[in-house]
Chain A
Amino acid sequence: MSQQISESHLNHLEEEAIFILREVAASFERPALLFSGGKDSCVVLRLAEKAFKNRVAGNEFSGRLPFPLLHVDTGHNFPEVIAFRDQRVAEMGERLVVGHLEDSMARGTVRLSHPLESRNGHQTVTLLEAIEEHRFDCLIGGARRDEEKARAKERIFSHRDSFGQWQPKEQRPELWNLFNTRIRPGEHFRAFPISNWTELDVWLYIARENIPLPSLYYAHERSVIRRKGLLVPLTEVTPPEAGELVETATVRFRTVGDMTCTCPVESSALNASDIVAETLTVTVSERGATRMDDRTSEASMERRKKEGYF
């Protein structure tokens, strides 16, 4: 794919994202930034540092963000990602709130139909419980409109009703940069500073800014199972089925979500610049290459979002 790579375009996207982040901090009383350790949330975190912190000697950032970080842990996250998350939070001196899906299971608000069921869809319950418990009124997320068709329809400031639900037909028109963030008690917003970014833009920015990421994003050897055109990583929650062959492949993850539904792609890309070059020639979308759960129905993302999924 021949594409324009433009430094000024990247600067413009950065300006827009920082503007949105400051808008959240100025408009809401109790915002939080969703941080999973994934590449999009790492980019949003860097943008937040630029929006709210000062550069000091050695080009490091000083100070603390005006909101905590929030992660919903399904208990099925890749251990490398959780370790990375905790290390980054400690290095930056930020506050991290973790909502554990297993706590929701203990409370009985999440019930699995079988033990190895994907917990990805269930995390909505834990997310909404965390919002209620901490009375968050705006969650900043790293979703992009190029990821998926239902995301393409969502506003930058996306209103959620008192059940945490997205109402696609009731979206507030977004005019100029005059965001309507007015809210009633019990309702909240989701704000997406990198809505207008593409996967390529994200990798260009990671390369430009030297943003640290979990090692899973870069080429490594991993035991995988080839299943329905996907490379399913071998983990304790994704065992091989009868007759399936486990093999070793050189892979990287384009997206890191729940272990039960995230697949790597074959790649030898060792750093962000390699991935930029790879992304320029890619022929399969990020979700198409990597997600098991979105394949069940064309509307699966939309349905989950209506229930409050992020």
Chain B
Amino acid sequence: MSAVLNSLIHHETDVDTQHRALRFLTAGSVDDGKSTLIGRLLFDSRAILADQLDTLEKRAAGAPIDLSLLTDGLEAEREQGITIDVAYRYFATRTRKFIIADAPGHEQYTRNMVTAAAGSDAAVVLVDITKLDLEQAEVTLLPQTRRHSLLAHLLRVPSIVFAINKIDALVHPAEGYAKVSRALRQFAEEAGIEVQAIVPVSALRGDNVTQPLESNWYQGPSLLQVLESLPTVQEKVEGRLAIPVQYVATNGDGTGHQPRTLWGRIAHGQVQAGDEIQILPSGQKARVVEVRKAGSTVAQVVAGESAGVLLDRQLDASRGDWIVTPGSSEPTNAFEATLAWLDTEAAQVGRKYWVRHGNRWVQARITAIEHKVDIHTLQEADAHELAVNEIGHVRIETQQPLPVEPYAANRVGGALIVVDPTTNRTSGALLVR
């Protein structure tokens, strides 16, 4: 980077420890204040520019501006006052960049949450405190709070944060916050959810969103401080190598020699010249003679980066294959998985679908639905099919063996999508168990 940019970096930045932006999703039902909260984060971090604000002021016609309108980007959404689809928003503070996956809390909540959660580092679950009966000795949480948290947990979003919203509406916020926190902690413990933080906020007034709450009853961090401290998912650089081959380039050098570069983003491990590798599923072995990155030869390429690998012999290797440490992985054509169904046409046992694992498309079928999961309670129930927004535990059989890994151990090796061969719709998400 140029000296000018370096000086800008030192001038503008306190720390630069993060490899990349923190991606987080927000979960909450209609009217819980989710859009207002996102609007508040964008507004207070000055991600909203004058002309965008101007539009809102015109629409407010003298009344206080409605921050929730910042996130409704589609015509139908403005007409109906709802959010239809996942949108991505960007903002930055002095220490970090953020990408919000803004998933609507509407009817199709599961489908949208699954989409937003895949690849997210964190989830902010919004709890509308005005909807809870605080008179009870033990506060009963709303079903959607349980549902959103359990879904985030099931999809293994690494960090879960509760934001208790609308505290400005309470006469005794301290008491309400204490009671709801207790209920949330108890629920999380029963469900096995690790809670990163429980933060009281008023998205409407801006209390404790980006500016800490000045009160005698809460001395904890603001929501933004919590977000600034959360870890991003780190790729595993140590240990065995796994690269899904994405693209094969033939680099003729004019001498008739046609070396092939196998390009792929490293799922885990690292690679350098001299390493012995194995191609899956064929099992052929070879030695790496050169490693490339973005047009140049480099000493080493690590997890998260795309490596160009040249081998010491001409092997039959193409898109969809994997480059791995010899003997480290055993491909299989039958495995168990959690299936989140996204399509209005129900998942059928026995029907052939396309699935994508890494860079390989293969035909597959669901051989059995062991049970479906009640996402209110995580209780298991018998099922013959999975309808839209349902989640089940299934057995999958694939036409070719795949080197799948448990999703909990590695997202790249453990995630698959299911595509309907008739409509080409993305019908489901598979997480290998």
Contacts and interface: CB of A to CB of B under 8 A. Distances in A.
Given A152-B88, A284-B49, A53 B114 contact: no
A149 B90 CA distance: 12
B219 interface: no
A150 B74 contact: yes
B342 A173 contact: yes
A174 interface: yes
B319 A198 contact: no
A198 B90 contact: yes
B224 interface: no
Name, among B50, B73, B87, the residue most crowded by chain A CB atoms within 10 Å (CB to CB).
B73
Given A150-B74, A273-B4, A303-B75, A4 B49 contact: no
Interface string B5-40: 100110011001011110000000000000000000
A172 B423 CA distance: 11
Interface string B86-106: 111110111111010000000
Contacts of B74: 149-150, 153, 168, 299, 302
A220 interface: no
Interface residues of A, number: 68
Name, among A8, A153, A168, A169, the residue most crowded by chain B CB atoms within 10 Å (CB to CB).
A153
A18 B88 contact: no
Contact of A175 (B20, B55, B99, B426): B426
Contact of B12 (A4, A53, A150, A176): A4
Interface string B279-311: 000000000000000111000000011100000
B36 to A, nearest CB: 16
B18 A177 contact: no
A199 B95 CA distance: 18
B1 A7 contact: yes
B304 A15 contact: yes
Contacts of A96: none
Given A153-B85, A173-B115, A178 B356 contact: yes
A232 to B, nearest CB: 16
Given A2-B93, A169-B84, A173-B115, A26 B319 contact: yes
B88 A282 contact: no
Contact of A273 (B2, B55, B251, B411): B2
A289 B50 CA distance: 10
B424 interface: yes
Given A55-B295, A153-B87, A289-B51, A15 B8 contact: no
A175 to B, nearest CB: 4
B419 interface: yes
B369 interface: no
Contact of B251 (A54, A196, A198, A299): A54
Contacts of A169: 76, 84-85
A19 B293 CA distance: 12
A189 B102 CA distance: 23
Nearest to A151: B73
Interface string A1-19: 1111111110010110011
B318 to A, nearest CB: 10
A288 interface: yes
B46 interface: yes
Interface string B246-270: 1101010000000000010100000
A98 B149 CA distance: 51
Contacts of A14: 294
Nearest to B305: A15
A280 interface: yes
A4 B13 contact: yes
Interface in A262-292: 273, 276-277, 280, 282-285, 287-289
Given A182-B354, A283-B50, A152 B115 contact: no
Given A7-B16, A8-B20, A180 B295 contact: no
B78 A207 contact: no
A208 B9 CA distance: 12
A55 B297 CA distance: 9
Nearest to A66: B249
B223 interface: no
B347 interface: no
B41 interface: no
Given A14-B294, A22-B263, A3 B426 contact: no
A19 B20 contact: no
B359 interface: yes
B50 A288 contact: yes
Contacts of A284: 49-51
A150 B5 CA distance: 32
Contacts of B246: 19, 22-23, 26
B429 A175 contact: yes
Contact of B75 (A15, A173, A299): A299
B102 to A, nearest CB: 8
B305 to A, nearest CB: 6
A215 B190 CA distance: 63
B214 to A, nearest CB: 22
B201 interface: no
B119 interface: yes
Given A19-B306, A182-B354, A285-B52, A280 B12 contact: yes
6 contacts: A6-B13, A12-B21, A61-B295, A175-B417, A208-B1, A285-B51
Interface of B: 1-2, 4-5, 8-9, 12-13, 16, 18-21, 46, 49-52, 54-55, 72-76, 78, 84-90, 92-97, 99, 111-112, 114-115, 118-119, 246-247, 249, 251, 263, 265, 294-296, 304-306, 319, 342, 354, 356-357, 359, 361, 411-412, 415-417, 419, 424-426, 429
Given A168-B74, A303-B75, 6 more contacts: A9-B21, A15-B306, A173-B342, A175-B415, A287-B51, A298-B78
Interface of A: 1-9, 12, 14-15, 18-19, 22-23, 25-26, 49-55, 61, 63, 145-146, 149-150, 152-153, 168-169, 171-178, 180, 182-184, 195-196, 198, 204, 207-208, 273, 276-277, 280, 282-285, 287-289, 298-299, 302-303
Closest 10 interchain pairs by CB? A288-B51, A149-B73, A12-B20, A273-B4, A173-B115, A50-B294, A22-B247, A175-B118, A299-B75, A285-B49
